Structure 1
Amino acid sequence: MRGDRVEVVIDAGGEVRTYDVVATRNGRRVEIETGRGVVTVSEVTRSGTPVRTARFMANRILALVEHPAADQNIAREDIEPHLPGSTG
């Protein structure tokens, strides 16, 4: 979904670098795969064809943050606490 974003923070030998992989067009999404010490973050089309790919060594990753593109109303509902006895 356009607006999906994955932020990868890595240790680059004495400094910290941040990389963003963003779904740039409608119908594209960002997928994460891990295997054999490598993390692959790809922007893919609806059919699953990779458009852009970034690969990182897993032992260098400090943080991997997914920022899904979501409707504001849905996100607000997920964040609001539901207390026992309250309506809504």
Structure 2
Amino acid sequence: MALPDLSALAVPGAEIAVRVTPNARREALDVGEAGQPLRISVTVVPEDGRATQAARDLLAQAMGVAKTRLVLVRGAKSRDKLFRLD
């Protein structure tokens, strides 16, 4: 799977809005239009934060940063999430 290059977003303190689709057929990351949240599809089910963790891992990989640098600010139990890069 080819991920888009999101290294331009890798600025400390940057907040990235995402919309997560759990239990998808395949993992994908769609940039979409400017001003819209990134759309992340993950194959795991939304239990015990697994989908959030998978989305964070995929986003970190596309940004080229360590996954531990992405902190969930809001949306632990929602499809709409906000991550901050520390």
Please indicate the TM-score interval, normalised by the length of the shorter structure: under 0.3
Higher helix share: 2
Q: Normalising by structure 1, what TM-score?
A: 0.24
User: Which protein shows a greater Rg?
Assistant: 1
Higher strand share: 1
Higher RCO (Cα < 8 Å, 6 or more apart): 2
